[in-house]
Each structure stands twice: as structure tokens, then as C-alpha cells.
């Protein structure tokens, strides 16, 4: 069983659409640069952004930005730039961003598909910059996008959504010509992490499992993903038994017969597309030692779960306020399950 990225209601397109673009898109691409996805020899070029695909040339102060990566739109908004198009990874609706970014759009952006972007829609927006810093890192996806406009893809090591909010902020800020603003924003959020870690010394050195269950089954997140980065900054250590099974993805599959793999000083679970009762009512899950001892947290509040999952420079600030008290409560005052 493959544990998929927890995006809800992604817009899917056929594999053929990814390989051969429709004629309408081909017409829209006429005249676009395809050498390095940028503006080599263009006097308006500001600089370059380092990515997995090499240094990408970006225009000076782009005016029409399309944000496709997970959290890219929120990051651009945090830096004062409103994308004309964006992907809504967690199906927020409205402007496609979480409540922590409310009011930052003055004009509603065009919605673009997630796992497989609607390339015709992207091209129709005539962007001068595409942001895709937190995505699969698939080269075919990148090659298609860069034919439309300069595209800032994932950083080295950022495949499978393994781009941290800090990396994402640095890349987006550089691409938007807002490096100083990005540095200040990162510094401020890092101070918030340090202050929160100091407020909750009980986190230091404790092991933690970050898992979820979908209709396909259970999974747990490995080191290098947004959720684990968040808790490790607070002093936790990601479950070493989970990390030992890590592959190239952001998570590992956990069979019901092996649910004890979820055991840690603190076990945190999120239901994705299912009811939380599918987890809390599972007899095998209830036998996990940490769960049975009452040291487990269920992220069943959509606001809290989404802030934790988005891992953007805006959402992590919200999560620091909402998630950490839940962790502290269960570590200090566990509530053992009754048989």
C-alpha cells in the first residue's frame, strides 16, 4: 500500500496530458524561453535562485506570479506579493489559503490543480514567474512549467515535499526580489520557535511519532518533512524506528499488524479524509503503549491539523500557538485509556 501525500481532492489529469500538451497550450507557449526557464540575456533579469534543477534566472520584481507548490502562495503573500494563480492543496476554498493568511488577497486568484497542474490555465495567466518550491520535484512537471515562464522548483533534497518553511521562504523571497524582507521574516519566526521551546522544556529529548490514517491505512512521517522539522525545533526527537524504515518519500506505511511502531513518548495522529473515530475506535491502535498510557494527541480540529500540515512561514506561527499546548497537556497529564 502506498501512503500518498495528504492533499484532499487534488485535481487529477491523465498521464497522457502530462506527456503531450494540448495544441491550445502549445500556442500559448509560443515565444516563451525554454533554455533555463529564465531570461538569459534579458536586461530585466534580477538574479538567480539555486534549485535542484540548477540556478534559475528570475525577472526583476515579477508582476504576475503563479504559486503552485504546497504553501508557496502563503509565502508570497507573507512577502507582500499576491499570486494571480495558485494551487489549493488542502481544499481551503475561498482564496485557497488558510485562515492565518486571511485578508492578504485583494483580488481572488485563479485556482490551479495540485498534484498535476492544469498547464493550460497556468499559461493562460501569462505569468512572469512560477513558484513550485514544495512539490514532487518531478522533472517532467518542471520541464513543462519552465516552458511557460521562469520556474523556481524544489531545492536539492526537496523532492517529495521535503522543503522546509525556511528553505521555501528563502527561495520565494529571492525570486520575488525580497531577500531582506524574507530574512527578517525567518529571523522573527525562528525567535518564536526558540521562545516556544523555552516555554515547554518538557519537550526536550522526548521521542515523538507523527502519523495519520487515510482510507488506505496508517502512515508515519519521517525526518526531513515539515511536521518533523516543526517538532524537532521544539526539542523532540522523531521516532527513530520510523526513521529507520524511511525511503525516498515523506512517510512510511504502517500496517495494522505493526501499529506498535507508532509508540513513542508522545504519539500524534491526524485523520485524513476519514472520521477520527476510525483511529480512536481501532482496538489495535488503542493497544499501542503510548496510546494506552494516554500520551497521544488526535489532531481532529481542522484548523489545528491544517496549520500543522501546511508548514508555511505563516501557518507555523499559528501552529506554535495551537498545537504545542496539546502536546504539553498529554505529556504532563496523560489520560490512560480504560479497557
- CB under 8 Å to 27, separation ≥6 — which residues? none
Helix, strand or coil, per DSSP, at residue 253: strand
Task: Give the CATH superfamily of 48-188.
Answer: Nitrogenase molybdenum iron protein domain (3.40.50.1980)
Output the pLDDT for position 32.
Answer: 40
The residue assigned the cell 497550450 is: 25
Instruction: Report the distance separating Cα 210 and Cα 323, nearest Å.
Output: 12
Average pLDDT of adjacent 10-residue blocks, the chain of 339 residues: 40 38 38 36 59 93 96 98 97 96 97 95 98 97 97 95 96 96 98 98 98 97 94 98 92 96 98 96 97 98 95 97 97 92
Instruction: Convert 163-201 into a string of H (helix), E (strand) and C (coil).
Output: CCHHHHHHHHHHHHCCHHHHHHHHHHHHHHHHHHHHHCH
Helix (H) / strand (E) element for 217: namely strand 217-221
Q: HSE-up of 100 (CA within 13 Å, CB side)?
A: 25
CATH 3.40.50.1980 in the chain is located at 48-188, 200-332
Output the pLDDT for position 46.
Answer: 60
Residue 189: all three cell numbers together:
519566526
**CA–centroid distance for 186 within its chain:** 17
Output the pLDDT for position 22.
Answer: 39
Output the pLDDT for position 175.
Answer: 96
Instruction: Report the distance separating Cα 59 and Cα 40, nearest Å.
Output: 10
pTM for the structure as a whole: 0.85
CATH number for the domain whose boundaries are 200-332: 3.40.50.1980
Instruction: Report the distance separating Cα 217 and Cα 219, nearest Å.
Output: 7
CB 91 within 8 A of CB 11: no
Amino acid at each position: 500500500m502506498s501512503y500518498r501525500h495528504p492533499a484532499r481532492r487534488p485535481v487529477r489529469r491523465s498521464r497522457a496530458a502530462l506527456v503531450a500538451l494540448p495544441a491550445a497550450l502549445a500556442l500559448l507557449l509560443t515565444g516563451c524561453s525554454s533554455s533555463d526557464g529564465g531570461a538569459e540575456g534579458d536586461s530585466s533579469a534580477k538574479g538567480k535562485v539555486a534549485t535542484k534543477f540548477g540556478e534559475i534566472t528570475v525577472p526583476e520584481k515579477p508582476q504576475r506570479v503563479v504559486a503552485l507548490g504546497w504553501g508557496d502562495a502563503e509565502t508570497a503573500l507573507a512577502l507582500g506579493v499576491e499570486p494571480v494563480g495558485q494551487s489549493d492543496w488542502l481544499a481551503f476554498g475561498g482564496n485557497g489559503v488558510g485562515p492565518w493568511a486571511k485578508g492578504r488577497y485583494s483580488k481572488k486568484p485563479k485556482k490551479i490543480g495540485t498534484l498535476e497542474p492544469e498547464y493550460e490555465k497556468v499559461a493562460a495567466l501569462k505569468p512572469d514567474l512560477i513558484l513550485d518550491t514544495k512539490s514532487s520535484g518531478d522533472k517532467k512537471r518542471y520541464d513543462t512549467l519552465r516552458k511557460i515562464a521562469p520556474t523556481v522548483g524544489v531545492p536539492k533534497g526537496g523532492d517529495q515535499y521535503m522543503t522546509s518553511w525556511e528553505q521555501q521562504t528563502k527561495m520565494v523571497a529571492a525570486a520575488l526580489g525580497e531577500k531582506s524582507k524574507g530574512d527578517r521574516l525567518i529571523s522573527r519566526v525562528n525567535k518564536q520557535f526558540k521562545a516556544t521551546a523555552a516555554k515547554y522544556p518538557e519537550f526536550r529529548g522526548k521521542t515523538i511519532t507523527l502519523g495519520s490514517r487515510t482510507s488506505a491505512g496508517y502512515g508515519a512521517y519521517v525526518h526531513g518533512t515539515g511536521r518533523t522539522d516543526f517538532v524537532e525545533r521544539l526539542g523532540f526527537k522523531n521516532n527513530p524506528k520510523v526513521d529507520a524504515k524511511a525511503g525516498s518519500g515523506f512517510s512510511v506505511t504502517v500496517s495494522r499488524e505493526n501499529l506498535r511502531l507508532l509508540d513513542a513518548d508522545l504519539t500524534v495522529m491526524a485523520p485524513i479524509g476519514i472520521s477520527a473515530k476510525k483511529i480512536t475506535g481501532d482496538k489495535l491502535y488503542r493497544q499501542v503503549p503510548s496510546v494506552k498510557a494516554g500520551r497521544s494527541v488526535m489532531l481532529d480540529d481542522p484548523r489545528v491539523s491544517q496549520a500543522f500540515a501546511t508548514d508555511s512561514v505563516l501557518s507555523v506561527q499559528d501552529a506554535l500557538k495551537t498545537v504545542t499546548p496539546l502536546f504539553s497537556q498529554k505529556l504532563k497529564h496523560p489520560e490512560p485509556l480504560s479497557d
